C-alpha cells in the first residue's frame, strides 16, 4: 500500500509527528527542480506540485501530444527521451526534467508542438484540475506562472 500512497503520515495522540513524501513524490520533486521554468520555486512549492502529479509510462514511438490540439496536461520527463516537432519538422530532443504540453483553458493557446516518445518514458503529469488546485493553494506558484506568462513570447508559453 505504501508504494501507492502520495505520502506517509504518522500520528500519535491525534497529532502529526511525521509527514513524509513517498519515493515516487521524491522522484517527481527532483525532476521538477531540474525544470527551467520552475527554477527559483521553493522546496515547499515543488513538493506541493509533486504531490498532485501522476505517473504515466509511454512506449517508444507513441505520440504524447499533438500540435494544434487543445491540451489538458503538462508533462515532465522523469526518464527517457522525447522528440518535439512542429509542422512535421524536427525541433528538439527532450530529456529528464524538461516539460511539454499545455493547459489550453488557462493559457488560451493550443499545444504548440507534437511530442513523441523516442524511447520508453516515465512522465510526470499535471492535469488541468490539479494545476488549478495548486494555483489556488500556492500563491508563490501562481505568481511564478503569471510572471512567466508576462515575460514569455506567446509561442514559448509552456510549449
When mean pLDDT is compared across 10-14, 58-62, 105-109, 148-152, the lowest value belongs to: 148-152
When mean pLDDT is compared across 18-22, 37-41, 56-60, 92-96, the lowest value belongs to: 18-22
Q: Among the ranges 7-16, 17-26, 32-41, 149-158, which has the highest mean pLDDT value?
A: 32-41
Here the CATH number for the domain that contains residue 30 is 2.60.120.10
d(CA 95, CA 156): 18
Q: Is residue 85 domain-resident?
A: yes
Average pLDDT over residues 123-129: 91
Contact, 115 vs 84, CB < 8 A?
A: yes
Average pLDDT over residues 53-62: 93
Residue-level pLDDT at 54:
87
d(CA 87, CA 85): 7
For residue 37, give Cα distances in angstroms to 89, 113, 157: 24, 17, 10
Q: Is residue 7 domain-resident?
A: yes
> Total domain count for the chain?
1
- pTM reported for the whole predicted model: 0.76
> Domain limits at 140?
2-152
* 67-114 tens-digit pLDDT: 999 888 999 999 999 999 999 999 999 999 999 988 777 777 889 999
Q: Is residue 50 domain-resident?
A: yes
Beta bridge partners of 7: 21
d(CA 104, CA 62): 22
Q: Is residue 56 domain-resident?
A: yes
Q: Is residue 75 domain-resident?
A: yes
Amino acid at each position: 500500500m505504501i508504494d501507492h500512497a502520495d505520502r506517509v503520515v504518522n500520528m500519535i495522540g491525534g497529532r502529526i509527528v511525521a509527514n513524509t513524501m513517498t519515493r515516487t513524490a521524491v522522484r517527481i520533486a527532483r525532476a521538477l527542480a531540474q525544470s527551467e521554468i520552475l527554477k527559483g520555486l521553493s522546496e515547499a512549492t515543488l513538493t506541493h506540485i509533486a504531490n498532485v502529479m501522476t505517473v504515466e509510462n509511454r512506449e517508444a514511438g507513441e505520440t504524447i501530444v499533438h500540435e494544434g490540439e487543445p491540451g489538458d496536461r503538462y508533462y515532465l520527463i522523469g526518464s527517457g527521451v522525447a522528440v518535439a516537432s512542429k509542422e512535421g519538422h524536427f525541433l528538439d530532443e527532450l530529456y529528464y526534467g524538461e516539460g511539454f504540453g499545455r493547459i489550453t483553458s488557462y493559457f488560451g493557446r493550443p499545444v504548440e508542438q507534437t511530442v513523441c516518445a523516442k524511447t520508453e518514458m516515465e512522465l510526470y503529469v499535471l492535469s488541468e484540475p490539479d494545476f488549478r488546485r495548486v494555483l489556488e493553494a500556492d500563491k508563490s506558484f501562481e505568481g511564478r506562472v503569471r510572471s512567466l506568462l508576462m515575460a514569455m513570447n506567446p509561442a514559448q508559453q509552456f510549449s
